[in-house]
Amino acid sequence: MTAPNQQLTERLAAVQSDIARSARAAGRAPEELTTIVVTKFHSAQLVRELAALGVRNVGENRHQEAAEKQAELSALELTWHFLGQIQRNKVRHIMQYANVLHSVDRVALVNAIPSELPRRDCFVQVNLTNIPARGGVAPADLLTLAERVLEHPALNLLGIMAVAPLEEEPAAAFERLRGYSDALRGLHPAATAISAGMSQDFHEAIAAGATHLRIGTAITGKRSDNNYDQQRTPGRESHE
Ligand SMILES: *Cc1c(COP(=O)(O)O)cnc(C)c1O
């Protein structure tokens, strides 16, 4: 049913060995790291192939697309990570299929989550730029947000998440992130996780202590950005 995909197999193995090498170079054990394969804009079939290759964590960033894929693949043993900006009126739907939210970025979003929902793991997303549209809470407001998350019965705070800025060396940005992670652990010692590192910067993220890597194109191949839309919802605009 799931024919082995040679290219995918090779890219996955290559990234896994690069990750292990970066981890050892940083004096860390590769087993400390969780690799989330980001499958946005790719078909459910690709996710099936990844699962057949042993992938257990997948990431998506758009609600509609993620909901459809998860519904189609609910029989697979996958942990679904939601990485995109979350609208308040979508959060309860997202929490039905996503096991982990990486993008909790404002108090208003936390307040919109009904307390009776089943508990989900989450990260607070911090903005490493001064551009609010990039998503993430401003560092000055990080601990206030984390306090609200900690009070919420449906949220279990794992740690902090960020995307490296386009206009800065990732190593420098991830060092700041490590400092914010220290501050967060000062508030809540169990919030040890750091979600950082994408295809282009996972080496730097690992060096700065990342525990959860979110890797798309290096494994899945280039996203022809309307791959998914063409297959499922012809005519819909896609954007990243
Ligand atoms: C798309 C995406 C990724 C993966 O990016 P690649 O460059 O394809 O590895 C990681 N994190 C987030 C939040 C994303 O939206």
**Alpha-carbon radius of gyration of the chain:** 17
Reported as half-sphere exposure (CB side, CA atoms, 13 A), residue 79 has a value of 17
Q: Assign 52 to helix, strand or coil.
A: helix
User: Please, which pLDDT band fits residue 3 given cuts at 50, 70 and 90?
Assistant: low
Region 21-32: what's the mean pLDDT?
Answer: 98
Instruction: Kindly give the distance from the C-alpha atom of residue 81 to the centroid of ligand 1, in angstroms, as a whole number.
Output: 12
- Of 39, 46, 57, 61, best ligand 1 pocket probe by most atoms within 8 Å of the beta carbon: 61
Distance of CA 88 to the CA centre of its chain: 18
In this structure, the residue with its CA closest to atom 8 of ligand 1 is 216
Q: Which residues line ligand 1 (CB under 6 A)?
A: 38, 40, 61, 83, 163, 198-200, 214-218
| 84 CA distance to ligand 1 middle (Å) | 9
Mean pLDDT of the chain: 93
Ligand 1 atom closest to the Cα of residue 61 is: 15
Residue 239 scores a pLDDT above 60: no
Pocket test of ligand 1: the residue of 65, 81, 198 to mutate, having most ligand atoms within 8 Å of its CB, is: 198
Is the pLDDT score of 80 beyond 60? yes
CA of 60 to the centre of ligand 1 (A): 9
Q: Using alpha carbons, list the distances in angstroms from residue 179 to 45, 172, 194.
A: 39, 11, 11
DSSP count for the chain of H helices, then E strands: 10, 8
234 or 178, which is more confident? 178
Nearest protein Cα to ligand 1, atom 12: 83
- How far does residue 134's CA lie from ligand 1's centre (Å)? 13
Q: What is the pLDDT of residues 202-221, one digit of tens each?
A: 999 999 999 999 999 999 99
With a cut of 60, say whether residue 236 has pLDDT above it: no
Tell me what percent of the residues of the chain surpass a pLDDT of 90. 90
Best residue for ligand 1 mutational test, from 214, 217, 238 (most atoms within 8 Å of Cβ): 214
Which tens digit of pLDDT belongs to each residue from 164-209? 999 999 999 999 999 999 999 999 999 999 999 999 999 999 999 9
Ligand 1 atom with the smallest distance to the CA of 220 is: 8
Q: Does an H or E element contain 79, and which?
A: strand 79-82
pLDDT-based confidence at residue 222 (cuts at 50, 70, 90): confident
What local confidence, expressed as pLDDT, does residue 223 receive? 80
Residue having the nearest C-alpha atom to atom 10 of ligand 1: 214
pLDDT in tens, 121-156: 999 999 999 999 999 999 999 999 999 999 999 999
Q: pLDDT at residue 237 above 90?
A: no
39 compared with 2, residue with greater pLDDT:
39
Which residue has better confidence, 237 or 118? 118
Higher pLDDT, 228 or 221: 221
Tell me how far the alpha carbon of residue 240 lies from the centroid of ligand 1, in angstroms.
10
Q: What's the confidence (pLDDT) of residue 226? A: 56
Q: Which tokens in the block code for residue 10?
A: 């090779």
When pLDDT is averaged across residues 16-39 and rounded to a whole number, the result is 98
Which whole number is the average pLDDT over 39-49? Answer: 97
